[in-house]
Amino acid sequence: MSEVVIRFARPPDLARLTAIEESGADTFARAGIPLADRAPPSPPDQWTPALDAGLLWVADDPHAGLVGFLAGKIEDGGLHIEEIDVMMERQKQGHGRRLMQRAIDGARDRGLAALTLTTFRSVAWNGPFYASLGFVELSPAETPAWLAAILAKEAARGFEDRCAMRLAL
């Protein structure tokens, strides 16, 4: 088995992210949790700002190509994880954990105060996974307005059992 490398994304990588996102969404459907809005995956150029900011990492298998990615943005003095996906057939191999660790290390290197994300509270590979990395669920009173707005948009799209989580650095 080849060693998957976690690295900063490069412009040619953007075209591969759609397939990774689609495969990640299929994981929910196969687990009986189809994504509520059935929206198409993000267009590759959506991730250009993260790429330009040095906040887009990929899991690159030297033989199979890209198998995962994580995109973030700086928000309120921290790194907000906008998206993390791993190809369904490459899940449960530590790639998501390694992508998250790279983002955590990157946030520390930048002197950021925290990482935030929104996720499904009860899906095993979501809320509990992030909790295993040290993220804690924010109560409504602890959730900043910009993060509450993201949760509200997700709820409007039909996503239930969502929460905001934060990892203090």
- Of 13-17, 127-131, 144-148, give the lowest mean pLDDT range: 127-131
Region 37-56: mean pLDDT is 86
What phi and psi values does residue 25 have, to the nearest 5 degrees? Answer: -65, -35
Residue-level pLDDT at 34 = 62
Q: How far is CA 112 from the centre of its chain?
A: 18
**Mean pLDDT of all residues in the chain?**
91
Is 90 exceeded by the pLDDT of residue 33? Answer: no
Of residues 79 and 27, the one with the higher pLDDT is 79
Is 80 exceeded by the pLDDT of residue 11? Answer: yes
As a whole number of Å, the end-to-end CA separation of the chain is 34
Residue-level pLDDT at 159 = 81
What pTM value is reported for the model?
Answer: 0.92
Q: What is the largest CA-CA distance in the chain?
A: 47
Under the banding of pLDDT at 50, 70 and 90, the label for residue 2 is low
How many domains does the chain divide into? 1
Query: What are the structure tokens assigned to 122, written together?
Result: 């009860």
Region 31-60: mean pLDDT is 83
Under the banding of pLDDT at 50, 70 and 90, the label for residue 139 is very high
Q: Which domain holds residue 162?
A: 5-168
CATH of the domain at 72: 3.40.630.30
CB atoms within 10 A of CB 82: 20
